[in-house]
């Protein structure tokens, strides 16, 4: 008993020193005792602050555990459906504040607050259940996805904190260390320090980040700033939701899907800002159609999609033909279908592909960004036409 009490005291001390949320001792230290600096196979002390090195992977910690089997959904496909979410937050929009540049009203990717004439601070949070079985890759994907909200606003991430839910009596903490290590590796690539975080004991594993970023207020990318007559550029292929669902059900691993999801949207965002773009969003759980519809609705424009120009991840159409369509994708299509017009030859499968729930997808940019495919254009009016 004395030993257990000593361990709990030690855990509380560790948490108070590393920035993980338990400073007020308002929850059981056992539920947040994952300070990576104290894990036997964890990070060397100081790595969260300096981002100078990433510890080596320990495959014995990964073992044969299939993380996707511990979650009802996977990645951004586990989001609350867009229609339900909008209804839930309907009365929360329009909050006063002269310094709020972007709030809840347009459903943009991150909040933006003006702190001085040449500086806006951006804030976002994103987390989800396992999208792949590999713990390290899940951490990488979740971090890239959280950082993407800052890039989608034309910003630069400057700080992140971890958000973790972990079934500590079911899954080993070594696996959680792998998840955190994966997140740290991508944040390090982005030059964004990871400084502590918050965790809970949770029946389902969940991981993500809350990220703070900065941008010049005159160069913000917004989802309500689209104008008609401009090209639509997409910076990553779609279809990873289908492959993730196939992976969850069969265990097959799709390296290209993982590479796509872990790739930062940093370069695309910088290129978009340099090109003078003013409107953009990232494509995640609501699919290409859902996020395009939200941007068109917020901006008061319509759009045309050239189906043949939309890039796909290898294997996506095969996964579609084989029936690996997630419930989240079907809900996306149900939500946006009343606002879609499809030309002859556009099939129900084509629409499902365009509504596929992405995880850590690319940027959808109103304007041409050199080096990325143009998939359509904006028009006067409303709704989305698919040709």
Enzyme catalytic residues = 76
Structure tokens, 46: 């100081």
Structural contact between residues 122 and 153, judged by C-beta atoms closer than 8 angstroms: yes
Rounded CA-CA distance 351/70 in Å is 30
Residue 141 class from Cβ within 10 Å (0-12 exposed, 13-18 middle, 19+ buried)? buried
Q: If you write DSSP's letter for every residue of 320-334 in order, what string do you get?
A: HHTT---HHHHHHHH
Rounded CA-CA distance 155/124 in Å is 12
Rounded CA-CA distance 280/268 in Å is 11
The residue count for the chain = 387
Rounded CA-CA distance 262/222 in Å is 23
Query: Beta strand 194-201 with 156-166: parallel, antiparallel or unpaired?
Result: parallel
Q: In what order do the strands lie in the sheet with 111-116?
A: 100-102, 111-116, 119-128, 206-215, 156-166, 194-201
Q: How many CA atoms lie within 13 A of 24 on its CB side?
A: 2
Closest C-alpha among 183, 163, 144 to residue 362: 144
Beta strands in the chain (DSSP E): 100-102, 111-116, 119-128, 156-166, 194-201, 206-215, 231-234, 279-282, 302-305, 340-342, 363-366, 374-379, 384-386
Rounded CA-CA distance 288/352 in Å is 10
Closest C-alpha among 244, 262, 260 to residue 252: 244
């Amino acid at each position: 008993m004395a030993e257990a009490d000593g361990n709990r005291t030690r855990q509380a001390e560790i948490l108070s020193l590393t920035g993980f949320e338990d400073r007020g001792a308002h929850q059981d230290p056992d539920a947040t005792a994952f300070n990576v600096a104290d894990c036997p196979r964890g990070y060397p002390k100081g790595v969260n602050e300096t981002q100078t090195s990433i510890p080596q992977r320990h495959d014995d910690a990964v073992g044969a555990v299939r993380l996707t089997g511990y979650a009802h959904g996977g990645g951004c496909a586990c989001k609350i459906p867009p229609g339900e979410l909008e209804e839930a937050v309907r009365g929360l929009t329009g909050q006063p504040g002269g310094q709020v540049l972007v709030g809840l009203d347009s459903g943009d990717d991150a909040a933006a607050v003006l702190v001085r004439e040449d500086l806006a601070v951006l804030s976002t949070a994103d987390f989800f259940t396992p999208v792949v079985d590999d713990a390290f890759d899940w951490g990488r994907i979740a971090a890239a996805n959280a950082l993407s909200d800052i890039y989608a606003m034309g910003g630069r991430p400057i700080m992140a904190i971890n958000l973790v839910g972990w079934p500590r009596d079911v899954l080993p903490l070594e696996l959680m260390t792998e998840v955190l290590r994966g997140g740290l590796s991508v944040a390090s690539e982005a030059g964004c320090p990871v400084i502590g975080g918050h965790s809970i004991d949770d029946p389902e594993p969940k991981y993500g980040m809350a990220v703070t970023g900065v941008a010049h207020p005159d160069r913000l990318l917004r989802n309500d700033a689209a104008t008609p007559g401009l090209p639509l550029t997409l910076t990553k292929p779609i279809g990873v939701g289908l492959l993730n669902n196939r992976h969850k059900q069969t265990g097959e691993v799709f390296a290209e899907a993982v590479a796509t999801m872990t790739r930062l949207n940093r370069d695309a965002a910088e290129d978009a800002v340099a090109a003078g773009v003013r409107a953009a969003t990232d494509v995640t759980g609501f699919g290409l159609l859902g996020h395009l519809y939200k941007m068109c609705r917020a901006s008061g424009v319509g759009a045309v999609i050239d189906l043949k120009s939309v890039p796909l991840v290898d294997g996506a159409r095969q996964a579609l033909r084989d029936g690996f369509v997630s419930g989240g994708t079907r809900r996306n299509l149900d939500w946006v279908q009343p606002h879609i017009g499809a030309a002859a030859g556009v099939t129900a499968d084509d629409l499902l592909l365009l509504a596929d729930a992405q995880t850590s997808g690319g940027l959808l940019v109103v304007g041409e960004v050199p080096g990325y495919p143009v998939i359509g254009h904006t028009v006067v009016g409303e709704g989305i036409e698919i040709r």
